Amino acid sequence: MNYHFITIEGNIGAGKTTLSHLLAKHYNARLVLEQFADNPFLSKFYENPQQYAFPLELFFMAERYKQLKELIHTKDLFHSVTIADYLYIKCLLFAKVNLPEAEFKLYQKLFEIINQQLVQPDILIYLHVPVTRLQSNIRKRNRPYEQSIPDEYLFNIQETYTHYIKQHNIKTIFIDAGNADFLGNEKHLQVIIDALQQDFEDGQHYFTLP
């Protein structure tokens, strides 16, 4: 496999972390997982988005930067592949949805300074899941602060992701994951593994699951 830094992205409840664990096990890869539960503003944001959106996004940006920055300074002699369950650009994408224009412009300036210092992934795996399935997954994992997320918010996040990926021609394995069961169906995981054997050009490369 030619990819040494793989990032998995998707909407809230798309199955990013589950797939990251499975691929890390398959490739004996170093696994980088977002520590979202450490954000003290997360539950407050869902209760009062206008008041807590800016500190929420600043905290996420700082913590993700700290985590990914370590990849530059630490070499793992036992793992040739690193898999992360988030792309750093998600900071900017969520901020675009959550922040008013003036705050977003300030946030964007900070993001652009920080993003230049980070290693960018070799390839992105994007899990595209319909909002109805996302809501079902969110209910199943039963995090209290997520249970009232409106459909419109998930639609906005989905549109922001797909627009950015297409606009910037990111090298992406784009998975139609509406029926995904990576834990229970080995064929679904095999589609991802087979795709990663290919040497892709920049742009989106679409796959469906059997």
Give the whole-angstrom CA distance, residue 24 versus residue 45. Answer: 31
Listed in sequence order, the DSSP H helices in the chain are: 16-27, 42-47, 49-73, 90-98, 101-115, 131-141, 151-167, 186-195
Residue showing tokens 């070799």: 122
Q: Which domains does the chain have, with CATH numbers?
A: 5-34+49-129+156-208 (3.40.50.300)
Do the Cβ atoms of 19 and 182 come closer than 8 Å? Answer: yes
Q: What pLDDT score does 76 carry?
A: 67
Q: What pLDDT score does 77 carry?
A: 57
Q: What pLDDT score does 145 carry?
A: 85
Q: What pLDDT score does 36 carry?
A: 81
Beta bridge partners of 9: 126
Structure tokens belonging to residue 98: 């959550």
Give the whole-angstrom CA distance, residue 8 versus residue 17. Answer: 8
Low-confidence ranges of the chain (pLDDT < 70): 72-73, 75-78
Contacts 24+ apart (CB under 8 A), 1-4: 1/27, 1/81, 1/196, 1/197, 2/122, 2/199, 3/81, 3/122, 3/123, 3/196, 4/80, 4/81, 4/82, 4/122
What's the whole-model pTM score?
Answer: 0.93
In the residue annotation, 85 being an active-site residue is answered as yes
Among the listed residues 85, 151, 194, 199, the single catalytic one is: 85
Q: What pLDDT score does 106 carry?
A: 97
